[in-house]
Structure 1
Amino acid sequence: MRPTALITGGGRGLGAAIARDLAPDHDLLLGGRTEQSLGTIVAELPAATPWPVDLLDHDAVAAACSGIDRLDVLVHNAGVASLGTVADSDVAQWREMFDANVFAVVALTRALLPALRAANGHVVLINSGSGLNAKARWGAYAASKFALRAFGDALRQEEPDLRVTSVHPGRIDTDMQRAIVAEEGGEYRPERFLSPATVAQAVGQAIRTPADAHPTEIVLRPR
């Protein structure tokens, strides 16, 4: 029986790239806000099934997870990013970062823990270089990613039968990155960033690592 992987934010960018990497040897549940947003990647990958749910609606998440009895891989890829100084950013912006990048991850993981335990599964947290190093104007986002790293560290110790991998890529060539560069007022040059396929390959390698090893942390930077 092929293992099953659930990938949040699976409709485009890094999530879609991870789906393409895992599709040859995994059955896929691809998370997104709507089924329509997942149509292109699901049509491309016969192994993929849409899993539309608003991750910020924790009751809807619990309902969507209720039929999943066994899950081999959970990839937390969905997230948001916005810039602002501490002086200029309001509490609502910080709350938005934590709601999407931390609390949604906690809620989904908790809902799927029985299924992950049944499979001795693997949780992959797509973190960021900002989860290791906070910079000016990135405070709210970095704080959420530091918290995500702490969540992964705690989960790894509390659930010894699971593998938990935190992935800290540098900036990736995605639509989100284009929006960030526009917010920074810079010129977008995709060659300056990591390819989604490169990061996806690193994620796939971690997932395929033989069971006697535990890949706990992966850090990638553009050359």
Structure 2
Amino acid sequence: MVAADTARTILVTGAGRGLGRVLAERLAARGDRVVAHARSAAALEGVPCERALVADLEDPAGLADAVAAAGIERLDALVHNAGVLNVGAVAEESLEWWHRSMTVNVVAPAELTRLLLPALRAARGHVLFLNSGAGLSAAPRLGSYAASKHALRALADSLRAEERGNGLRVTSFYPSHFDTDMQRDLREQYGSDYDRSRAMSAETVAATILGVLDAPEDMVVNELRVEPPNPLPVRERA
């Protein structure tokens, strides 16, 4: 449990389930003030938080009203956890999925960050982008997802360079093969086997994020890539 005078206000997107929910629970348990985001209030049922930010990331134009309603004047950290993924070859991927991947995974985080910059600057805060191994190397049938994650890395790099003088810290975090609904869905779409014993747990990934956010003020982790010791490759069953 952190002392009351050191508790921080941290916004987590996609806090309704999976890693986002685990992270919100871990932050709240230690005494931080959690702002939990989800696309509906129902999705946040049971999530420990001081306040909610209800907004659909597929509609970035609606984020301004949601942020204004939340009344966030000071924000110590913004964790961009929410995202979408579809498996499809470039020859087959629909225009709808290209739009959705880029909107939810890149445009919405950019707009949400822009809207919250005054609060982040006031706290000399930290922005952490949950990226992916696909943001470093694109695999077959992951074109729209990988493109969005490569773009997310560019967003983080630009933000870091622009806001360094304002005291902001910016991290791109690349966890591969951890146990989430997205990982299971990816493998199902691929027709690939899945073994959760060869994946990192959401708890492990959440603990790693906390470690990055807790880094001393005279240091920043710009980029961090992690994976399990013996990950099961994503490949179609024979």
TM-score band w.r.t. shorter chain: over 0.9
For 2:233, the equivalent position in structure 1 comes to none
Aligned residues: 219
For 1:62, the equivalent position in structure 2 comes to 64
8 Å contact from structure 2 (residues 12, 80) kept in 1: yes
Where does structure 2 lack aligned partners over 5 or more consecutive residues?
Answer: 230-238
For 1:183, the equivalent position in structure 2 comes to 189
Aligned AA for 2:8? P
- Equivalent-residue separation in structure 2 for 1:133 and 1:170 (angstroms): 12
8 Å contact from structure 2 (residues 87, 142) kept in 1: yes
Match of 1:8 among 13, 28, 39: 13
Query: Which has the higher relative contact order, 1 or 2, with Cα contacts under 8 A spaced 6 or more apart?
Result: 1
For 1:158, the equivalent position in structure 2 comes to 162
For 2:201, the equivalent position in structure 1 comes to 195
- Equivalent-residue separation in structure 1 for 2:178 and 2:196 (angstroms): 8
- Taking structure 1 as the reference length, what is the TM-score of the superposition? 0.94
Q: How does 1:74-223 map to 2 (within 5 A)?
A: 74-160=78-164, 161-223=167-229
- Equivalent-residue separation in structure 1 for 2:221 and 2:135 (angstroms): 17
Aligned AA for 2:60? H
8 Å contact from structure 2 (residues 57, 103) kept in 1: no
Q: Which moved more, 1:10-19 or 1:57-66?
A: 57-66
RMSD, aligned CA: 1.3
Aligned AA for 1:104? A
- Runs ≥4 in structure 1, deviation > 4 angstroms? none
Query: 1:48, CA displacement in angstroms?
Result: 4.2
- Taking structure 2 as the reference length, what is the TM-score of the superposition? 0.88
Query: 1:182, CA displacement in angstroms?
Result: 1.2
- Equivalent-residue separation in structure 2 for 1:208 and 1:22 (angstroms): 11
8 Å contact from structure 2 (residues 60, 107) kept in 1: no
Where does structure 1 lack aligned partners over 5 or more consecutive residues?
Answer: none
Tell me the secondary structure at the aligned position of residue 171 of structure 1: coil
8 Å contact from structure 2 (residues 58, 100) kept in 1: no
